[in-house]
Amino acid sequence: MAGKGDVINAIAEQAGISKKEASAAFDAFVNYISESCQRGERCAVPGLGSFNLTQRKAREGRNPRTNERITIPASKNVRFKAGKDLREAVNAPRRAAKSGRK
């Protein structure tokens, strides 16, 4: 699983910039998406997908230990929907690493 450091290293290498600049760019990207969702706006990133704010209604649940009824409060949730380009990239058939493989 790639962590934040792995993503920053990849951005720095592929864009030809320093890790400090890549970290600032990554943080700005995440902050922009967070702020858009806080405002209730849909945030679409071409080639990746879209982030959208959804509302969950208050509902009744049960405590699994005591089986006591509890009220789960209403909350907001961020949903991500993968874009067409990302779905196609993930579902593309893999090519053999060497041409001599059977």
pLDDT tens for 49-101 read 999 999 999 999 999 999 999 999 999 999 999 999 999 999 988 765 554 54
What dotted CATH number matches 4-91?
A: 4.10.520.10
Beta-carbon contacts of 88 under 8 Å, excluding residues fewer than 6 positions away, are: none
**Is the model's pLDDT at 2 over the cut of 90?**
no
The torsion angles phi and psi of 9, rounded to 5 degrees, stand at -60, -40
Beta-carbon contacts of 82 under 8 Å, excluding residues fewer than 6 positions away, are: 48, 49, 90
Please write the tens of the pLDDT for every residue from 33-42: 999 999 999 9
pLDDT given for residue 38 in this prediction: 92
How do the domains of the chain map onto residue ranges?
4-91
pLDDT given for residue 1 in this prediction: 77
